[in-house]
Structure formats: structure tokens, C-alpha cells
Amino acid sequence: MTAQLIDGNALSAQIRADVARRTRALKERGLTPGLAVILVGEDPASQVYVRHKVKDSEESGLHSVLDRHPASLSEAALLARIAQLNADPAIHGILVQLPLPRHIDANKVIAAIAPTKDVDGFHVASAGALMVGQPGFWPCTPYGCMKMLESIGYDLRGKNAVVLGRSNIVGKPMAMMLLQKNATVTICHSATPDLRSHTLRADVIVAAVGKRNILTADMVKPGAVVIDVGMNRNDEGKLCGDVDFPGVREVAGWITPVPGGVGPMTRAMLLVNTLEAAERCLPKPQ
Ligand code: GUN
């Protein structure tokens, strides 16, 4: 069997078109969604990421501000800048690109972002809201993975889902989202012995470890859905995920490619969160 592809490029294009449509409607009511992206330092990968985020926003009609600072910026100055953006009515979403220079405490910085503008979903208030099923912002990568499952009409109720990786940004929120849809969820991590015994029972596997070939064909139940969050380089320097794609696609029922899978979905969900942050500012209909 060869798995069907879940095409992140095509799905994210649909989502961005919907964001553009809803943004036009908001603008007609006098409100332009605004995103501030803060970059501290010169990390080359971060520079590429923030440029994409600003470009995506503009293409969907959102207002965006790229707020660049030297690596020498003090923590106090960054906190002051965030306070300013928290109070700025033209800004609905604030994203601080990680990693930050070592002299800045990322937890303190994320905590300073107003939860109503936390479009990355990294604030403890956002994490708590997800955990208890209250409205809030969901981290973009696991949110994008849920949209991919939704796009194939996959009903998670009663299914076994295995998440590989326990990061605060992907693994843990992913598990909460799958649980909310009534899957039976297992989180595996670096101290899990015998990964294969878990993955072989899984109907859905989300690989978010950051290690090439962590999931191979012998670890996958025939017909399973495999979502690959990894972003690694192979020996030729080509982008690849955590999954041995050529092997696993012969066993899985559905699979996401890298590139063209979860990556574009993460970018699209940031736009959705920013748009929704703006929509929540509208007066409620009487
Ligand atoms: N660095 C790598 N990925 C991300 C992300 O999704 N958000 C932020 N803020 N920083 C990142």
C-alpha cells in the first residue's frame, strides 16, 4: 500500500485564502489585524523565519511590523517594548522569535506578552486554557497538525495516538489537542524504552523529536496516519523530517511530506491566530 499524501502546501493555501477573505471583511468594519514580530540578534534561521511571517501577513492583507533589535538588547528594554506593543491598539498579535540571546530569560519575556495577543500560544495562560478546554490561542504547529487531520475527515474518537516528543511548543500541546478530540494519547520521549512497542499500536503518530529517521516502516501499523513535524537536514543537506518517508509511505494510510507538510501549516495558523485576536476585539453583536 502506498499512503495518501496530506498536502500542507495546498491546505495552507486554502486557509490563507480564508484568512484574506475574513481580513477584508474586518477591514470593511474599520479594523485591520496587526502582527508585531520581534527579532533579537542575527540568528540566520530566525531571520528567514521572521521574514516569512511578515511576508505571509502582508500577502493576506494583515498589517505587520518587524521589530528588529541587536543581540545586545537588554532584557529590560525588550520587556518595555512588549509593554508598548501590549498597549498598541493597532497590534493584535505579538510574536517574539525564539531562541533569544542567553542573557534574556525567554520565560519572563513570554510571560510579559498580553495573553489576548499571544498568537504563538506560548504563554502559560494559553497553555492552561488549552489544558482545561477554554478558549485561547493554540500553538501554531500542533494546531496545523489538527487541521491536517480534519482535512482528511479523520475521527480521532477512541483512536490510539502516539506523540513522539514532549516539547512545550509541539509535543505537549499536540497531546492535549488529540485528547480533546477523544483519542487515547501516549507521549513518548527520550527516556521511553522500546518506542516501537508504542508506535505499532498507534492509529495516528505525530513525530516531533527533531531526529532524522526516528520513525521507520517496521514501527508503523498498516494504514496509520503519520504526521511529520521534524525539520532536519540529510547527508546531502536536503530538508527532511523525523520520518523515513520512502519506507513509511509504503505502510501508512496517510502521511505528510517534508518539505510541504507541517511547515506551511504552522505559518498559516499564525495568520489564523492573529486574525482571530483582531476579531475578538470587535464589539459583540447585541
Ligand atoms: N522559533 C522556532 N519556531 C518558533 C515559533 O513557532 N515561534 C517563535 N516565536 N519562535 C520560534
Give the distance (Å) from ligand 1 centre to CA of residue 228: 17
For residues 222-248, average pLDDT: 97
pLDDT tens digit sequence for 257-284: 999 999 999 999 999 999 999 999 998 7
Instruction: Output the CA 38–ligand 1 centroid distance in Å.
Output: 11
Per-residue model confidence as pLDDT tens digits over 172-205: 999 999 999 999 999 999 999 999 999 999 999 9
Domain covering 30-115: architecture: 3-Layer(aba) Sandwich (3.40)
Is 0.85 topped by the overall pTM? yes
CB of 118 within 6 A of ligand 1: the answer is: no
Q: Are strands 239-240 and 4-5 parallel, antiparallel or unpaired?
A: unpaired
Question: What rounded mean pLDDT belongs to the chain?
Answer: 97
Cα gap 90→103, rounded to integer Å = 30
What is the model's pLDDT at position 31?
Answer: 97
Same fold, 30-115 and 140-262: yes
Domain ranges in the chain are 30-115, 140-262
- Of ligand 1's listed atoms, the one at least distance from the Cα of 169 is 6
CA of 98 to the centre of ligand 1 (A): 5
Q: Is any ligand 1 atom within 6 A of the Cβ of residue 110?
A: no
pLDDT at residue 285 tops 80? no
CATH number, span 140-262 = 3.40.50.720
